[in-house]
C-alpha cells in the first residue's frame, strides 16, 4: 500500500514539476521590457516563485524515490 501511494505521489509531483517548468519556460521566452515597471516586477516575482516551486518539487521527487527504494528493499 505504501509503495503504491509513493509511486502515485511521485507521478503527481513529476506532472506538477513538468507543468511548472513549461510555464517558467514560456514566461522566460516573453520579453517584458516594453511593459510597465510594475508588470516587470510582477513577472520577475512569478518566475522566481516558479523556480522555487520547481526546486521544492525536485526535492520531493527525490524523497519519493528514496521512499520507494526503502519500501522495495523491505519486500
The SS3 call for residue 13 is helix
Instruction: Summarize the confidence of residues 5-16 as an average pLDDT.
Output: 95
Distance set, CA 18 to CA 40, 53, 57 (Å): 24, 11, 10
Fill in the DSSP letter of residue 33: T
Question: What's the pLDDT score for residue 75?
Answer: 76
Model pLDDT for residues 35-60, shown as the tens digit of each residue: 899 999 999 999 999 999 999 999 99
Q: Is 80 exceeded by the pLDDT of residue 31?
A: yes
Q: Is 90 exceeded by the pLDDT of residue 13?
A: yes
How far is it, in rounded angstroms, from Cα 75 to Cα 52? 35
Q: What pTM does this model have?
A: 0.86
Instruction: Summarize the confidence of residues 68-75 as an average pLDDT.
Output: 90
Count of the separate structural domains present in the chain: 1
Give the domain range for residue 62.
Answer: 2-74
Amino acid at each position: 500500500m505504501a509503495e503504491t501511494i509513493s509511486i502515485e505521489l511521485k507521478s503527481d509531483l513529476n506532472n506538477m514539476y513538468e507543468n511548472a517548468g513549461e510555464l517558467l519556460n514560456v514566461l522566460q521566452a516573453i520579453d517584458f521590457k516594453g511593459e510597465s515597471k510594475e508588470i516587470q516586477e510582477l513577472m520577475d516575482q512569478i518566475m522566481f516563485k516558479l523556480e522555487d516551486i520547481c526546486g521544492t518539487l525536485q526535492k520531493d521527487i527525490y524523497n519519493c524515490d528514496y521512499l520507494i527504494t526503502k519500501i522495495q528493499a523491505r519486500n
